[in-house]
Each structure stands twice: as structure tokens, then as C-alpha cells.
Amino acid sequence: MIASHDTDDTDGTVLASGFTINDEDFEAIRRFLHEESGIALSNSKRDMVCARLGKRLRHFGLRSFGEYLKKVREGDPRTERQEFINCLTTNKTDFFRESHHFDFLRDTVIPQMRAAGNKRLRIWCAGSSTGEEPYTLAMTVREACPVADKWDVRILASDIDTTVLATAERGVYDADRTGDVPPALLRKYFLRGVGASAGKVSVRPELRNLLTFRRINLIEEPWPVRAKFDVIFCRNVVIYFDRETQHRLLSRFAAQLTPNGYLFLGHSENIHWTANTFAPLGATVYRMRSATAPPAQSIARPAPNVPAPAALRPRAEGVHNVIIGDVKATRGPAVIKTLLGSCVAACLYDPETGTGGMNHFSLPGVSDEGTSTRYGAHAMELLITAIMKKGGDRSRFRAKVFGGGKVLDMSAAHMDVGVRNAEFVLKYLETEGIPVVAQDLGGTRGRLVRFRPHTGQAQAKQLAEREVSQLVEREEQFTRDLNTRVETPPDDGITLF
Ligand SMILES: C[S@@+](CC[C@H](N)C(=O)[O-])C[C@H]1O[C@@H](n2cnc3c(N)ncnc32)[C@H](O)[C@@H]1O
């Protein structure tokens, strides 16, 4: 049984807010917070609510919590509703908190993977607060899986609270918060601040680069996450949820874990009632029982619903046609072709292993830039993962990029879609440190691209006017489909990581 959260992580801060809250308003706030985040506040949290939300009342010059809640409900979810959540989460965390979990990862999980010849490790740190926990994971993994051993490691750090997420992403801490970091790791993975930053430490880029930070509300469905994880850390989070929310969350975690994957919970988060799905290994470490694993959460993958024209269907062995929303990776001699208008195709290859591949995508034309770029990041991740599955090494990837022409003219809103696609793909590759060795982007004509992944050779031929019309029709249809899927509901069909 999970202990009442009253006994755990509250930070005990009760400020003299000067406000009092009546029963009705407290009840309404409690209900709304639960609907939005799954957090179940007990009665004893009245003072905390008064103190934390009192600041917002003062900020707006309001006199009652009822008025404030009205403002929160009616406002844009990304503004005061988010602020409301940020105020009411409890974010206590530390480096190497419950350190036996990191020992278990180092001494059991990673050696098991190594013995199985698996050097691809995906970790999700859900409810990562200000970042101490995911950075501890990164240090543990970096020590146990040295870069020289060619491990492919990614850690997703997520939280519902955007303030703590920003702190985590910054990776700058007061030096006195690092007391539990072993001195050798502190020297190796942190930079010490000087001058105005004296007394601070900053996480070194080589550690930070293992992490991706995302706002993810654990009770929202579906999660914008496509990857399966070998390990999920969700410590001292479910303690704030009621039993029903915990049940739902744990079955969704099960669907997001690889067979035999590991789940780490906080010290008081005993989930014996999920014993059919998770085998308890002690100290709130659980392992998926693969035979009873529920089917993977299925998330729609973008695909056009118009049939590919005959010219784009595969013709002969070794020649592959990539259509919009698709990805193809190969090892050894092959040709990958595609026709591009405003879409872009990234051609990545690893010259040493003769592996490579191509994707073909367009960003959805939604106004929310985060949503749009997450979609693009997903298209790129699909390609990278597909090439790595063929034996390619991400650290050796080279890129050639094509497309992004001003070809679509379906509406003014989409006029710049080619430019956005081109800018996105270049920015993504820069961020990921994948060098772009050739590009043919922009212009007003469509292109036929031929790519030989085993040599990295690529050619782009401009299309004649008459060849472009069919292509434009398909791209317009695709963009329309994608926009519908992305806009209702906001995260549907978008995957990351
Ligand atoms: C007490 S902290 C735990 C931090 C860290 N996991 C640890 O154990 O040190 C709980 C975190 O869960 C986050 N959280 C609460 N409800 C959430 C939800 N519905 N979705 C995602 N994160 C949530 C809070 O914002 C907070 O940062």
C-alpha cells in the first residue's frame, strides 16, 4: 500500500500569505488540481495552498481564491493553468537520492545488458523535478557504459512543472546541493562557477547531452513518447496520486517498458497489487514480467492515406522508394529514392559500416512551434534508430539534406512550409552534432533524390513543371491529414525520443 503523501515530500513551506481560504474554494482547487495533474491534496494542505497560491492572488490583485480559480479555468492552459500547477507541485529531490537504486543500475541492470550484447539503453526519468535525479542517472550510466565502449544511451527527463524543468535543463546548482555527489564525479562532470557564479556548479555538456527534457503530464493520454524504455525511474511521484490514477499509470508504464524492463519507485511506493505485471525485486525496484506484459501503447504514425503513384512503388531489389511520412534504412549496396516538393528528406549514413537511410517528412502547419518541432524530431529519431538497428554508429553519421522548396500553395498559412522544413532539419542536425556534408534546399521546383547509403553518394534532379502537380497534390493531402491529427487532440500522433 502506498503511504499517504502527507508523510513524504512536502517542503513544509507555509508562508504568511495574508489570505484565508474557505471550504468551498479549497474543495474546488483540490478538485481542479486532481483533474489536471492527478495530484490528490489532503485537507492538511490548506495552509500550503494558501501560501503558494496567495502569491498569485497578490500578483493579479485578486481577493479570493474563487476569483483566482475562475481566472485559471478560463485562461490559456499554457499560462495561468500551468502556473497554478507549478505552484502546487512538490519538487523535493537530491543528487544520489536513495543511492541503492543507482548501485542496482550499475551492478545489475547494465551488466545484464552487456552480457546480452545489448548496448542500447533508454531510460525515462518521469517526474524529474529540478534535474538532480536524471543527472545522477547520467553520471551512473556514463561511468558504467564508457563512451569508448560505444554504448548508445539516451535519458528522457520529464515533469509536469515547467519551472523545475527549466532549472533541470539549465543544469546549474548551488554547490552545497552536491554534497552527495562523490568528489571524483563532481570533478569529472561539473564545472565550478567563478566570479558572479561563485558558489554554483554547472553540469558539463557531455553529461547534459545524454538527456532530453520534456514537459509530460503523466496523466495525459497518450504520452508523446514512442520509445520503449529499458528502465523507468518514477520515484516519489505516484505517492501524490490516488489509487485509481496509480493503477492506470502503472499499466501504462508497463506498456512503455521493454520486456523484462525495470521500474524504480520511491522508497514508500509499494505496488504489491501489480504483482502480475511487475515482479518486486526489493527496495522498490520492479521488473516487468514479460509474459504478462500488456500490448504496447499504439500511437498513430504519420502516413499518407493516398496511394503511392506507380512511379514510387518499389521496382527491383536494392531500389527503395520512400514516400511522405516514411523512412528506409539499409546496409550494403542499395539505392533509396524519393520525390520532394516542400517536404524535406534527410539522408544519413555511416561511412564505416556502409549503413544509411532516408526519411521524408514535413512539419505540421500548427501554430504551436513546440508541437510542430516535436513531430520533426520524431521523424529524425525514426531514421536514426532505423540506421542504428542496421549497425550504424550515430557518432559517425554524416548528413545530406534535400527539399524544402516553395511548392505547396494550398493556403497562405502553408506558404512557408518548405522554409520551415529546411530550417528545422538543419537546426536538428546541428543540435545533434551530425555534420551536414551536402544540401540542396529551397527554390521553387520539386526534386527527385537518389541516395546510395553505402557510399553516401546522393543526387538531386529538379523536376519538370508537369511532374510537380501530382506531387503537390500528395503533399497537400499529407499536410492536411497531419494538421488534423496534430490539432485534435493536441498531442495525438506525436511521438518523441
Ligand atoms: C517529489 S518530486 C520527485 C523528484 C524525483 N523523482 C525524486 O525522487 O527525487 C515529484 C515530482 O513529480 C512531478 N509531478 C507531479 N505530478 C505529475 C504529473 N501528473 N506528471 C508529471 N510529473 C508530475 C512534480 O512536479 C515533481 O517535480
pLDDT digits (tens, 9 = 90+) for 48-107: 999 999 999 999 999 999 999 999 998 776 689 999 999 999 999 999 999 999 999 999
Ligand 1: residue of 48, 85, 87, 160 to mutate (most ligand atoms within 8 A of CB) is 160
Burial of 473 (C-beta count, 10 Å sphere; 0-12/13-18/19+): middle
Checking if the pLDDT of 298 tops 70, the result is: no
Task: Look at 185-199, 316-330, 345-359 and tell me which has the smallest mean pLDDT.
Answer: 316-330
Structure confidence by residue, pLDDT tens digits, 215-250: 999 999 999 888 899 999 999 999 999 999 999 999
C-alpha cell at 158: 520529464
What whole-number distance in Å separates Cα of residue 334 and Cα of residue 320?
Answer: 8
**Ligand 1 first shell, C-beta below 6 A:** 9, 37-39, 89-93, 97, 127-129, 133, 159-161, 164, 217-219, 235-237, 240, 266
Distance in Å, CA 5 to ligand 1 centroid:
12
Q: DSSP states of 245-308 as a string? A: HHHHHHHHHHHHEEEEEEEEE-TT---GGGTTTEEEEETTEEEE-GGGPPPPPP-PPP--SSPP
Ligand 1: residue of 2, 10, 33, 89 to mutate (most ligand atoms within 8 A of CB) is 89
What whole-number distance in Å separates Cα of residue 432 and Cα of residue 200?
Answer: 27
Structure confidence by residue, pLDDT tens digits, 90-129: 999 999 999 999 999 999 999 999 999 999 999 999 999 9
- What local confidence, expressed as pLDDT, does residue 381 receive? 84
> CB of 257 within 8 A of CB of 228?
yes
Closest C-alpha residue for ligand 1 atom 13: 127
159 catalytic? Reply is yes
Task: Out of 157-166, 309-318, 330-339, give the one with best mean pLDDT.
Answer: 157-166
Distance in Å, CA 239 to ligand 1 centroid:
9
Unique residue bearing C-alpha cell 528545422: 424
C-alpha cell at 62: 485578486
Q: What is the dihedral of CA 90, 96, 101, 104, to 10 degrees?
A: 160
> Which atom belonging to ligand 1 lies closest to the Cα atom of 86?
25
Closest C-alpha residue for ligand 1 atom 2: 91
Strand 120-126 with 152-159, pairing: parallel
Closest C-alpha residue for ligand 1 atom 26: 91
Unique residue bearing C-alpha cell 512511379: 311
Average pLDDT value over all residues in the chain: 84
Q: DSSP states of 5-74 as a string? A: GGGS---------S----HHHHHHHHHHHHHHH-B---GGGHHHHHHHHHHHHHHHT---HHHHHHHHHH
Distance in Å, CA 247 to ligand 1 centroid:
17
What whole-number distance in Å separates Cα of residue 34 and Cα of residue 85?
Answer: 10
Checking if the pLDDT of 466 tops 80, the result is: no
- What local confidence, expressed as pLDDT, does residue 78 receive? 67
Give CATH for domain 310-487. 3.30.1330.200
Distance in Å, CA 432 to ligand 1 centroid:
28
Ligand 1: residue of 125, 237, 267 to mutate (most ligand atoms within 8 A of CB) is 237
pLDDT band at 341 (very low <50, low <70, confident <90, very high): confident
C-alpha cell at 269: 511506493
- What local confidence, expressed as pLDDT, does residue 431 receive? 79
- What local confidence, expressed as pLDDT, does residue 457 receive? 93
Distance in Å, CA 245 to ligand 1 centroid:
14
- What local confidence, expressed as pLDDT, does residue 5 receive? 40
User: Hey, what CATH topology would domain 100-292 get?
Assistant: Rossmann fold (3.40.50)
**Which of 326, 359, 349 is CA-nearest to residue 452?**
349
- What local confidence, expressed as pLDDT, does residue 483 receive? 57
Q: Beta-carbon neighbour count of residue 462 at 10 Å? A: 14
Closest C-alpha residue for ligand 1 atom 7: 93
The DSSP element (H or E) to which 440 belongs, if any, is strand 436-441
Task: Look at 236-240, 288-292, 327-331 and tell me which has the smallest mean pLDDT.
Answer: 288-292
> Which atom belonging to ligand 1 lies closest to the Cα atom of 218?
20
**Which of 322, 299, 302 is CA-nearest to residue 312?**
322
Q: Beta-carbon neighbour count of residue 352 at 10 Å? A: 10
- What local confidence, expressed as pLDDT, does residue 432 receive? 81
- What local confidence, expressed as pLDDT, does residue 270 receive? 81
- What local confidence, expressed as pLDDT, does residue 119 receive? 93
> CB of 125 within 8 A of CB of 155?
yes
**Which of 336, 371, 312 is CA-nearest to residue 454?**
336
Structure confidence by residue, pLDDT tens digits, 146-178: 877 889 999 999 999 999 999 999 999 999 999
- What local confidence, expressed as pLDDT, does residue 482 receive? 60
What whole-number distance in Å separates Cα of residue 227 and Cα of residue 234?
Answer: 16
Three-state DSSP state, 228 = coil
Task: Look at 193-207, 259-273, 300-314, 410-424 and tell me which has the smallest mean pLDDT.
Answer: 300-314
230 catalytic? Reply is no
Beta bridge partners of 209: none
Distance in Å, CA 426 to ligand 1 centroid:
34
C-alpha cell at 41: 491534496
> CB of 210 within 8 A of CB of 153?
yes
Please tell me which residue in 122, 154, 159, 374 is annotated as part of the active site: 159
**Which of 247, 241, 278 is CA-nearest to residue 261?**
278
Distance in Å, CA 21 to ligand 1 centroid:
25
Checking if the pLDDT of 133 tops 60, the result is: yes
> CB of 246 within 8 A of CB of 278?
no
Domain with CATH 3.40.50.150 in the chain: 100-292
The reply to whether CATH 1.10.155.10 applies to domain 5-88 is yes
Domain with CATH 3.30.1330.200 in the chain: 310-487
